[in-house]
Amino acid sequence: MRGAERQPGIEQQEARIAWTLVLPALLTILLVALFPLLWTAWESLHLHDLRMPWLGRPFIGLQNYGEALSDPRFWGSLGHTAFFAVTSVGLELIIGLALALALNRAFRGRGLVRAAVLIPWAIPTVVSALLWRFMFEGQSGIVNALLVDLGVLREPIVWLIDPVAAWVPVVLADVWKHTPFVALLLLAGLQNIDTSLYEAARIDGASAWRQFRHVTLPLLRPAILVALIFRTMDAFRVFDLIYALTGGGPGTSTEPIALYTFNALLQNLQFGYGSALSVIVFLITFCLALVYIKILGADLTGGRR
């Protein structure tokens, strides 16, 4: 806390010291974040195809962007990404909230359950993707066996070759893996809520639902916002899960934008076009973050609390 009697000279001096102290960090960020970003943007303005070296590396302006925008596979992958983000993050939020509320109660063995809940999150994505892949494997997968035994299915279906059914293991795997993370974030938020508020609500005769609706939810907003931002951005950049689970198939019907970019950049070695795709992904995630912060209020940047 600054005292009112401080002189402005000292303040300036402090500011200078502060800047000197953050300068190395700023320079590092500039070097490792901004430089590659600008380089990618510059690269995206060139035709640079390492598998067609005879074409050289001419400057072509915004042509790569034009090509992306007129490419149905690009729009398809963008749609898949959006679909994946909305369904999986939505489910994660709902289930995560329920889980957090349950874990917030005092019961015996709560510590153990809290730790156990984290297991899916601790498993590397590729491993869990393969796990789910095996479970949803064609004729012999356990999911088919179960559904047939229960009479839900008359005969096994090959999940991974159906453009709609292939999404089931993908979304389930993501929900299974990331719900604990969301639950943990929300749990931390719940524990920050003053219990006296609930007591007051109870005295006023508020039902459990009203308490949840008017006490828990508003006060949980910052935590929900953090979870949403983290998870949506992650979901938007989803790569390893789908790469290992469906490979983007059947055809390209589960291909997310990150996989398409990877393909262009690292399989086909189209550095120019791939860079343009990367820049587009960056812009979209960036805008998403801005929108979240705008819509959900200034909770994060420290408004009221």
The footprint of other proteins (CB under 8 A) covers 39, 49-55, 57, 73, 137-139, 158, 160-163, 247-253, 263, 266-269, 271
Tokens at 188, concatenated: 């931390």
What minimum distance in Å lies between the beta carbon of 251 and other proteins? 4
Q: Please say whether the beta carbons of 274 and 264 come within 8 A.
A: yes
Nearer to other proteins among residue 99 and residue 258 (C-beta)? 258
CB of 158 to other proteins, least distance (A): 4
CB of 110 to other proteins, least distance (A): 42
Please state the closest distance from residue 166 (CB atom) to other proteins, in A: 9
Residue number with CB closer to other proteins (87 or 268): 268
Task: Give dist(CA 158, CA 223) in Å, integer.
Answer: 39
Considering the complex, state which of residue 48 and residue 231 has its C-beta at the smaller distance from other proteins: 48
Our CB check for other proteins shows the closer of 64 and 216 to be 64
Write down the least CB distance from residue 58 to other proteins, Å: 13
> What residues contact residue 297 under an 8 Å CB cut-off, 6+ apart?
221, 303
CB nearer other proteins, residue 179 or residue 278: 278
**Residue 102 C-beta: closest distance to other proteins, Å:** 37
| Closer of 18 and 79 to other proteins (Cβ) | 79
| Range 184-187 contact pairs with CB under 8 angstroms and sequence separation of 24 or more | 184/100, 184/117, 184/118, 185/96, 185/223, 185/226, 185/227, 185/230, 186/96, 186/97, 186/100, 186/220, 186/223, 186/224, 186/227, 187/100, 187/103, 187/104, 187/114
**Which pair of tokens denotes residue 260?**
């398409």
Q: Pick between residue 90 and residue 156 the one whose CB is nearest to other proteins.
A: 156
Q: How far is the CB of 250 from other proteins (least distance, A)?
A: 4
Which residues partner with 46 through β-bridges? Answer: 59
Three-state secondary-structure class, residue 49: strand
* Residue 245 burial (CB count, 10 A): 25
Give long-range contacts, CB 8 A cutoff, 24+ apart: 256-261: 256/77, 256/80, 256/81, 256/84, 257/74, 257/77, 257/78, 257/80, 257/81, 257/281, 258/81, 259/77, 260/73, 260/74, 260/77
